[in-house]
Structure 1
Amino acid sequence: MGAVTPLVKENKPSGSVKPIVDLTKADMERVNALILSKAGSDVEMIPEVANHLISSGGKRLRPMLTLATAQMFGYQGDSHVRLATSVEFMHTATLLHDDVVDESDLRRGKSSARMIWGNQASVLVGDFLLGQAFRMMVETGSMEALRVLSDAAALIAEGEVFQLAVSKKMETTKDDYIAVIRGKTAELFAAAAEVGPIIAGASAEEQQALRNYGMNLGLAFQLVDDVLDYGGSSADLGKNVGDDFREGKITMPVILAYQHGDDAEKAFWRKAMEDGENDDAALEKARTLIARHNALNASVSLALEYGEAARRALAFAPDTPVRDALMDVVDFCIARIS
């Protein structure tokens, strides 16, 4: 193994999803029932593929954000359950599509759907789930919620395409990369947190505050995932450690290590990421170079900045269990780095 410097732990928050899980438990039971209902089809393969991923142990954080933010404003009704289910189906669809694009073998510690049923089935079932998500959005009768989630769907796809465009290009900048993860990850967090206050009739300012919370939470979440790919374990990630490296994905730790590297190091990164010379020995050298330039800790520091921005976005809200639970979610996302 390469010599990897341990991550800085000072000032890294601890957190838990238990408060938000407890607050949304009753509504999440309704969401889970709706998920099973809407994933059903007379076409046998559709529920098989969908349920493989739906039942694979994800925390369902995004739909919980929708439920909690609706609860924050005292919402009474059923539409938040449909919107939360829509958010989860959008997320599941992107995972099915991502695993095809990335040629991933594992998802949440299990064989990915594409490894069992193939790429075609994974893409088409993802499309089915997106269709079901939009049906449920329409059922709520909220054009504003539909607008926010449909905008998110377009921006997520745009972010994925942008990632393809910069994939394997070592001249990718920090700003380029933030634009990628803003689209592919943070937009759904932002939309999930925004549609709750929309359906609850919150003010435009309150809706924007929760959108800002979700956006910054999503950026922090993805940066932590980037760190875990080089400094974590398969259990932390739910996929193989080093998959980003093997797939030639230019993530924040790589960008920082490359920018601070000498000519020989930059030549290594170009061969590994652009030319595909990324075997296990190359991965260990990459980890060593990332450690040499403190790129993991610098990425963690950036995640902490976005986490703090998410917390600031909640400053308008009164001190309630829901606000506290949303604060804990920020800490939890960053505290995945052990």
Structure 2
Amino acid sequence: MATVSPATSGGTAPGLDPTHRSGSRAAGLAFAPVAAEIAEAERIFDSTLAPHRGPFGPLIEHLKHYRGKRLRPALLLLTAKAVGKITPAHHALAAAMEMIHTATLVHDDVLDEAEMRRHAPTVNAGWGNKVSILLGDMLFTHAFHLTSTVDGRACQITGEVTNRVCAGELRQVTERGNLELTEADYFAIIDGKTAALTECCGRLGALYAGASEDVAAKLGNYGRSLGLAFQIADDLLDLVGTEDAAGKTLGTDLEQQKLTLPVIHCLNRLPPTESAKLRDAIRTNAEGLGARVLQALEKTQSIAFAKRRAEELARSAKQELECLPRNECRAILEAIAEWSIRREK
């Protein structure tokens, strides 16, 4: 896991090793209190897809490149352990949340025409768009089947969240090319495409550990604010990150005329004539566009603005954890909020 700032916790939170970068090994170290439970969720994930290894084993095997930080199952399991006891239902739900997340990544790579994710070729780069779409669909259906082994309420909550995720993704696609996109529009998009699933993880973890509806709502709010902060940080990386560090294709937002928070802020802060010229450059994918946008972002201090918004959301996320007793899992959840806005990948 990327280095986590100890500024708000008085040091490194228990179970977090700041010397490791994100990835499966680091995630195991960072989420030590629920490492065994994450392993069980991964076993369920693998066994669910095992029947498909015969007809398309290399494709199923390639999905390991899409399973990096295990953030969503970890959130579900950490919130569960923070309020009560982890049960077999949590293992199934954690696997289902990871399947939904993986499905969205596979589909996102098609939409973004991305060729690399986590330092490996994307599914669409190796097998094409048709296979990628069907694979993502299959992951969605398996996730719903897993939640059906828990109970009807889990299915309902999961159905609601996937509706929000898909609506957020659809809205983002239909807003491509809208160079008048507002901050409110942007937050509506990422609230669906990213924050809905992290919100669901916090809520499900608490509910199935016996927490009250009020506590479950607060932990859902934690997940939502965390997801929003995480997405802003991700959008910043697309502008100022490096592909070697991020391990995935960057620069796709501008190429596809998807406005993100720093660019929206920049366009609104520039003098009207300069703003119009920059919009034209984005619309036509003008030569040297990246450098022009970065120069404008620096002029309007839009990178700093977006970072502040992410930091505000991370603080809001941590405030929601006041409903929890002070324990190791709460400390890790607080540290995850800090890490989400300071990561490099």
Same fold by TM (over 0.5)? Answer: yes
What's the % identity of the aligned pairs?
Answer: 30
Q: What 5-or-longer segments of structure 2 have no aligned partner?
A: 18-28
Greater alpha carbon shift after TM alignment, 204-213 vs 240-249 = 240-249
Q: Does residue 323 of the first structure (1) align with residue 330 of the second (2)?
A: yes
- Please report how far the alpha carbon of residue 244 of structure 1 lies from its aligned counterpart in structure 2 after TM superposition: 1.4
**Alignment coverage as a number of residue pairs:** 326
Cα 1:107–1:268 shift into 2, 3 Å: farther
What's 2:301 paired with? 294
What's 1:207 paired with? 216
Q: Deviations over 1:26-49 (max 9, x none)?
A: 111111211211122346565433
Cα 1:136–1:224 shift into 2, 3 Å: same
What's 1:69 paired with? 79
Query: Could you tell me which of 324, 332, 338 is aligned with 2:339?
Result: 332
What's 1:37 paired with? 47
CA RMSD of aligned residues (A): 2.2
Cα 1:180–1:39 shift into 2, 3 Å: same
Greater alpha carbon shift after TM alignment, 305-314 vs 39-48 = 39-48
Greater alpha carbon shift after TM alignment, 282-291 vs 116-125 = 282-291
- Please report how far the alpha carbon of residue 12 of structure 1 lies from its aligned counterpart in structure 2 after TM superposition: 9.5
Q: Does residue 182 of the first structure (1) align with residue 191 of the second (2)?
A: yes
Whole-angstrom CA distance in 2 between matches of 1:284 and 1:28:
42
User: Alignment partner of 1:314: what SS?
Assistant: helix
Q: What 5-or-longer segments of structure 1 have no aligned partner?
A: 1-8
Query: Could you tell me which of 229, 234, 252 is aligned with 2:261?
Result: 252
The residue type paired with residue 320 of structure 1 is: N
2:53–2:60 contact (8 Å) kept in structure 1: no
Whole-angstrom CA distance in 1 between matches of 2:120 and 2:8:
30
What's 2:118 paired with? 108
Q: Does residue 304 of the first structure (1) align with residue 323 of the second (2)?
A: no
Cα 1:221–1:46 shift into 2, 3 Å: farther
Runs of 4+ residues over 6 Å off in structure 1: 11-16
What's 2:161 paired with? 152
Whole-angstrom CA distance in 1 between matches of 2:45 and 2:248:
24
The residue type paired with residue 303 of structure 1 is: A
The residue type paired with residue 295 of structure 2 is: T
Query: Could you tell me which of 284, 293, 298 is aligned with 2:291?
Result: 284
1:87–1:188 contact (8 Å) kept in structure 2: yes
- Please report how far the alpha carbon of residue 57 of structure 1 lies from its aligned counterpart in structure 2 after TM superposition: 5.3
What's 1:274 paired with? 283
Cα 1:182–1:46 shift into 2, 3 Å: farther
The residue type paired with residue 90 of structure 2 is: H
What's 1:229 paired with? 238
Give TM-score, length-normalised by structure 2.
0.88
Whole-angstrom CA distance in 2 between matches of 1:12 and 1:53:
35
The residue type paired with residue 155 of structure 2 is: L
